Amino acid sequence: MIMMAGEKSKILIFGATGYLGKYMVKASVSMGHPTYAFVRPLKPQPYDSPKLQLHREFESMGVTVFQGELDDHEALVAAIKHANIVISVLAIPQHLEQYKIINAIKDAGNVQRFVPSEFGQEVDRVRGLPPFQNVLQNKKKIRRATEEAGICYTYISANSFAAYFVDYLLHPHEKCEELTVYGTGEAKAVLNYEEDVAAYTIKSANDPRAANRVIIYRPPGNIVSHGEIV
């Protein structure tokens, strides 16, 4: 797929209805990219169900939604042929399902950049205890498969999601009188807001300088301890 000068890249997102996927779709649309979402077939459900409402929201934003299964190779290839860039935001249990996306990208032959589902620690530099180490290993497997397939990639290390962990650690909506502080509360972490992670992922996926590179989101102002956010 050859792009004309000034033309916006076309972005296909897997896992678009998931936690981070919603932010990714909105970031792509807000930057003017023709945006596509590959999602599981929608089962019959109430008109006001959150999943159905999200589908309608995507369509109102101009997003083209493809419904299909990751096991359907032909459907994957057909969807991928619409895009220059493929971004996967699949959840942890589905990480190894990305082998199917990689195979479809190879057969489609038009993708200029693939961003696999990572968005956590830089997996080639850290080790963890089970089951976290198993998550890291699966991400490494997808990295190596992407590289062996000769697909141009960008790996995103976003550390921790700020809104998710602030809610988990502080329970701001519950008006708790007491909070649990882990350890001394002095250990530092990098907390990046989900909207920012999505925005910089879209920018990185379109940046020639990020081709075949690891991008680490680590703004100094976002490095905080549990005690500091309390």
- The span from the CA of 112 to the CA of 83, in Å, is 9
Supply the pLDDT for residue 90: 98
Supply the pLDDT for residue 4: 57
Supply the pLDDT for residue 48: 80
Supply the pLDDT for residue 3: 57
Supply the pLDDT for residue 186: 85
Annotated catalytic residue: which of 139, 140, 175, 203?
Answer: 139
Supply the pLDDT for residue 51: 87
Supply the pLDDT for residue 42: 87
* Packing angle of the helix pair 98-108, 132-148 (nearest 10 deg): 10
Residues in the chain: 230
pLDDT in tens for each of the 230 residues of the chain? 555 557 899 999 999 999 999 999 999 999 999 999 999 998 888 878 888 999 999 999 999 999 999 999 999 999 999 999 999 999 999 999 999 999 999 999 999 999 999 999 999 998 888 889 999 999 999 999 999 999 999 999 999 888 777 777 777 777 777 788 888 888 898 999 999 999 999 999 999 999 999 999 999 999 888 888 87
On whether the pTM is more than 0.75, the answer is yes
DSSP string, 40-89: PPPPP--TT-HHHHHHHHHHHTT-EEEE--TT-HHHHHHHHTT-SEEEE-
Q: Would you call 139 a catalytic residue per the annotation? A: yes
Mean per-residue pLDDT of the chain: 92
Domains of the chain are 11-159+193-219 (3.40.50.720)
- The span from the CA of 97 to the CA of 71, in Å, is 9
Tell me the β-bridge partners of 115: 87
Comparing CA positions, the residue from 19, 76, 5 lying closest to residue 195 is 19
For tokens 């200029």, what's the residue? 112
